[in-house]
Amino acid sequence: MAGRIVGGFAAALLLVSCTQDAGDELPVQPVGDLHDTMTWVLDPAADVIWGSTGWIITAQGAQDLTPTTEEGWDKVRHSAWVVAESGNLLLMPHLLPESDAEAWVEFARGMTRVAQQALAAVDAQDSDALFETGGNLYNVCLACHQVYARGEE
Ligand code: HEC
């Protein structure tokens, strides 16, 4: 029993050293492609930010989307962190465009900076500032899509 566990551990170590021997420059473990990162990491987080500012008109009248509880603000904070760090994710080697990556890097870094402004707005519970950064965030998404994802909105 103990022998099997030790054996399994040794096999795991072997696997780790084999992976390192592969000569990867960075210890990154690609999980998904760009489509996955957009669809399952970035887009849902951006949606939470956009869904937490401004007003919507419902059958019951105008409804302010600004969070009203600490829990509600924490939800936006979480999403702003996801967007901020997603800018770094987009700079991982396997997600970088194969050529002409210069503007890509600018867009990704710009997105992180906008998300940091959103974080500041969340910390201040400033719904006007959050609304404004939400607009800036949309512009960064759009700008990168116009260059690198023709056909995506
Ligand atoms: C640095 C460039 C870049 C930035 C910034 C960026 N995107 Fe994308 N996005 C892309 C590219 C390239 C594609 C097309 C990828 C594909 O589907 O192969 C894409 C595709 C998408 C898709 C469609 C996924 C699919 O293929 O169905 C969604 C949704 C999306 N992005 C959301 C966003 C949102 C929301 C933001 C901003 C918060 C954003 N993106 C910012 C580059 C970017």
Domains of the chain listed by start with CATH number: 30-148 (1.20.120)
Residue 21 in this model has a pLDDT that exceeds 70 = no
Measured CA to CA in angstroms, residue 61 lies from 55, 56, 57, 69, 127 at distances of 10, 8, 6, 21, 20
Residue at token pair 């997600």? 95
* Pocket test residue of 34, 35, 36, 38 for ligand 1, highest count of atoms within 8 A of CB: 38
pTM, to two decimals: 0.86
Mean pLDDT, residues 117-122 taken together: 98
Q: For residue 34, report the distance from its CA to the centre of ligand 1, in Å.
A: 8
Mean pLDDT, residues 38-67 taken together: 96
Is residue 37 a contact partner of residue 95, using CB atoms and an 8 Å limit?
Answer: yes
pLDDT computed for residue 1 by the predictor: 44
Tell me what percent of the residues of the chain surpass a pLDDT of 90. 80
With a Cβ cut-off of 6 Å, ligand 1 is lined by: 34-35, 38-39, 42-43, 46, 83, 90, 104, 107-108, 111, 137, 140-141, 144-145, 148-149, 152
Residue at token pair 């492609």? 33
Identity of the residue numbered 153: E
Residue 73 in this model has a pLDDT that exceeds 90 = yes
Mean pLDDT, residues 110-123 taken together: 98
Mean pLDDT, residues 24-33 taken together: 86
Mean pLDDT, residues 20-25 taken together: 55
pLDDT computed for residue 26 by the predictor: 77
Residue at token pair 């940091």? 116
